[in-house]
Amino acid sequence: MMFPTTHSVSIYNFEQDDQDYSEAHASTADYSDLKVTTQPAGVDILAVYPGLPAFQTFKMYVWEKVNILNGAKVTDGSRTWYVRGVAQVQDYPFHYHQQLILEEVIS
């Protein structure tokens, strides 16, 4: 199943510093100019508690073999999403894609 490319994104994986055990997103993109399809996973906007930001979930399809980790930051320059969970990978001799679930914070 192929979808049209909707975004060209950069991926910043979430990593841990072994020196002081701090965690942060990489300062430079692990993957840049990655062509993907991003679409809403539904029409719902999820709000947890009053005063906390709400978020909307998206599906992202990637056709290149890249290692995108849980918690990675995905940005196209104007929007930012965060990966939740691990990729669902379809790897066949004639077709490859991975599907990820993203969250976008809605203020």
Q: Which CATH number do you get for residue 51?
A: 2.40.10.370
Asked whether the whole model's pTM tops 0.95, one would answer no
Please provide residue 8's backbone torsions phi and psi, each rounded to the nearest 5 degrees.
-115, 110
Please give the chain's pLDDT, 107 residues, in tens: 567 888 999 999 988 777 766 678 888 899 999 999 999 888 777 777 788 888 889 999 999 999 999 999 999 989 999 999 999 999 988 888 999 999 998 87
Number of domains in the chain: 1
The domain in which residue 11 lies consists of 7-106
Residue 93 lies in a domain: yes
Q: Tell me if 51 is assigned to some domain.
A: yes
